[in-house]
Amino acid sequence: MDFQYTEEQQLLADSVARLAEQHYDFEARKRVIASEAGHSAEAWRQLAELGLTALTLPAEHGGFDGGALDMVATMETLGQSLMLEPLVSTVGLGARLIARLGHNAQRQALLPAVAEGSLILALAHSEHDSRHDPAQVSTRAELHAGGWRLRGAKSLVIDAPLAGKLIVSARTAGESAEAAGLSLFVVDASASGLRMNTLRTQDNRRAADLTLEGVQLPADALLGEAGQAYEAIVEALDFATVLACAEAVGAMRSANLATLEYLKTRRQFGVPIGSFQALQHRLVDMFVSAEQARSITLLACSRVDAAALGELAVAERMRTVSAAKVKVSEAARHVGQEAIQLHGGMGMTQEMKVAHTFKRLTMIAQTLGDADWHLERFAANS
């Protein structure tokens, strides 16, 4: 074991922190939210320049063969500054699936563009009745006209309005809730027959509900072999989950530091409210929650990386990732709710960053499997 970030990991995180300071302070973030694009093209370009869109991609396609641990410090920084950039969608989910399932030609066609930052991806997987179950897919793909034709609907595809390509799951066999028969397709965002109803999430991300009305795709749009995508999807979701956990850890740190600062400066009854023991103890417990969440996130990242190298059983990866998501989801709720409470009325306003941090934390807990779903999976793999 080794508990310190490597010099490279630390330098990268420091660079991202500087980027966040220069281009993503609270006021700049408001402008990004109000913008047409919904994210900052300039920040995205700089993240790519720093190598973040390439870090976890295979070296033979323009990447650096990095793992989840290489991303942790960076994801924490993203969480602290509440960046809206589509890193998890693009490299955590989309590129991960292309790298794992795609034929060499597919990988070569897409991954170098992701690595250099010119291609944003989104995973169109969940459907209205999926909740958190990765096998609950009804969208179908049929062989048609020498290629594939997709029919169905996808729900709340995060970052879809930003993406150049969508990775869409569909059944080539089997019934909804079955693991076998799931396939993935690369679909151009402007494909005919693809309807996108865009929406904004509670934490100001862009998303879309998709309707696929007989979207016709060429034969090589299928990633890998037909019907074999389930395990890769679960792996990518695990990978994205630990990245989201790391982002939440950063957001919790931000909420805690903001609350600490508020307790030191806000005065009532002639003294800083931080002198009250009732509030001190609650803040201490918030810091403990965040620290525990960080520890188990680091452990889960290590396990995801070891399993990706074939050095660890898949069940152990799933068990640890689920442990992390349970802890992070519950810590996120604890820290988020307490941060608002300790800020008093001010925490309820749009003016305070802590309110936005709370919303982001709440949404992370709600996505990629909530605490109850992961408790179930943890027990099933224990």
Partner 1 sequence: MDLNLSPQELSFRDEVRGWLSANLPDDLRAKVLDYQELSKEDLLRWHRTLAARGWVAPAWPVEWGGTGWSAVERYIFEEETAMAGAPPVVPFGVTMCAQVLLKFGSDAQKKRFLPRIYNGDDFWCQGYSEPGSGSDLASLKTRAERRGDEYVVNGQKIWTTLGHYGDWIFCLVRTDSGTSKRQEGISFLLIDMNTPGITVRPLILLDEGHEVNEVFFDDVRVPAENLVYEENQGWTVAKYLLGHERLNTGRIGQSRREILRLRELAARTLVRGRPLLDDVRFRDRLSRVEIELMALEITNMLFFDEMRLNGKIGPEVSMHKNRGTEIQQAITELMMQAVGPRAQAFKPIRYDGFDEFMASSASRYFNFRKTSIYAGSNEIQRNIFAKMALGL
Interface residues toward partner 1, by CB under 8 A: 1-6, 9, 69, 72, 260, 263-264, 274-275, 277, 280-281, 283-285, 287-288, 291-293, 295-296, 298-299, 301-303, 305-306, 311-312, 320, 323, 326-327, 375, 378-379, 382
- 166: β partners: 122, 187
Decide: helix, strand or coil at residue 198. Answer: strand
Output 22 or 268, the one with its CB closest to partner 1: 268
Length of the chain in residues, anyone?
382
* For partner 1, the closer CB: 199 or 257: 257
What is the nearest approach in angstroms of partner 1 to the Cβ of residue 286? 10
- The residue (of 5 and 64) whose beta carbon lies closer to partner 1 is 5
Give the Cα separation of 248 and 292 in Å (integer).
12
For residues 53 and 96, what is the distance between their CA atoms, to the nearest angstrom? 11
353-366 vs 230-265: helix crossing angle, rounded to 10:
150
Quote the longest CA-to-CA distance of the chain: 78
Radius of gyration of the chain (CA): 21
Q: How far is the CB of 316 from partner 1 (least distance, A)?
A: 11
Q: How far is the CB of 274 from partner 1 (least distance, A)?
A: 4
| Nearest-angstrom CA–CA distance, 368 and 148 | 28
Handedness of CA 317, 322, 325, 331 (dihedral sign): negative
Distances, alpha carbon 79 to alpha carbons 24, 85, 359, in Å: 12, 11, 12
Shortest Å, Cβ 297 to partner 1: 9
Nearer to partner 1, 109 or 299 (CB): 299
Which one, 143 or 288, has the nearer CB to partner 1?
Answer: 288
State in angstroms the smallest separation of the CB of 291 from partner 1: 6
Q: What are phi and psi of 91, to 5 degrees?
A: -95, -30
Minimum separation from the CB atom of position 296 to partner 1 (A)? 4
C-alpha atoms less than 13 angstroms from C-alpha of 321 in its C-beta half-sphere? 30
How far, in Å, CA of 332 to CA of 188, rounded? 35
Q: How far is 89 from 166, CA to CA, in rounded Å?
A: 10
Q: How far is the CB of 272 from partner 1 (least distance, A)?
A: 8
Closest approach, Cβ 115 to partner 1, in A, equals 23
Name the residue nearer to partner 1 (CB basis): 81 or 320. 320
State the nearest-atom distance from the C-beta of 131 to partner 1, in Å.
17
The C-alpha angle 67, 154, 325, rounded to 5 degrees, equals: 40
User: Which is closer to partner 1, CB of 186 or CB of 293?
Assistant: 293
CA dist., res. 156 & res. 335, Å (int): 26
- Residue 33 or 257 with smaller CB distance to partner 1: 257
Q: How far apart are CA 224 and CA 232, in angstroms?
A: 11
CA atoms of 23 and 30, how far apart (whole Å): 11
Q: What is the DSSP string of 300-321?
A: HHHHHHHHHTTSS-HHHHHHHH
* CB of residue 374 to partner 1, shortest distance in Å: 9
Please identify, using beta-carbon distances, which residue of 105 and 278 lies nearer to partner 1.
278
Of 171 and 325, the one with the shorter C-beta distance to partner 1 is: 325
Neighbours of 136 (CB within 10 A): 16
